[in-house]
């Protein structure tokens, strides 16, 4: 089984969001990394959070 770093996973999900797709984060740690990267890039998203994870939905679809 291949192990992927959380930072690389967050960056991959941000690239998906940049392409106009939604992304799901299972943990608060991953959500935090995604939020930080989105803020750095100035990408606006709608974030829906529940007790099992967070969805990041791009406001401007590509």
Does any domain span residue 52?
yes
- pLDDT value for 2: 77
Does any domain span residue 31?
yes
- pLDDT value for 4: 79
Angle between helices 6-18 and 28-41 (to 10 degrees): 50
Does any domain span residue 45?
yes
Does any domain span residue 1?
no
Domain that holds residue 38: 6-58
- pLDDT value for 12: 97
pLDDT tens by residue, the chain, 62 residues: 777 799 999 999 999 999 999 999 999 999 999 999 999 999 999 999 999 999 999 997 65
- pLDDT value for 1: 73
Tokens of 53: 């994870």
Per the structure, the count of domains in the chain is 1
Does any domain span residue 30?
yes
Report the predicted TM-score, pTM, of the whole model to 2 decimal places.
0.88
Does any domain span residue 53?
yes
Does any domain span residue 32?
yes
């Amino acid at each position: 089984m291949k192990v992927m770093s959380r930072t690389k996973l967050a960056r991959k999900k941000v690239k998906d969001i940049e392409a106009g797709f939604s992304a799901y984060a299972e943990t608060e740690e991953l959500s935090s990394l995604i939020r930080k990267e989105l803020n750095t890039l100035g990408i606006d998203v709608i974030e829906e959070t529940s007790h099992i994870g967070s969805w990041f939905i791009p406001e401007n679809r590509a």
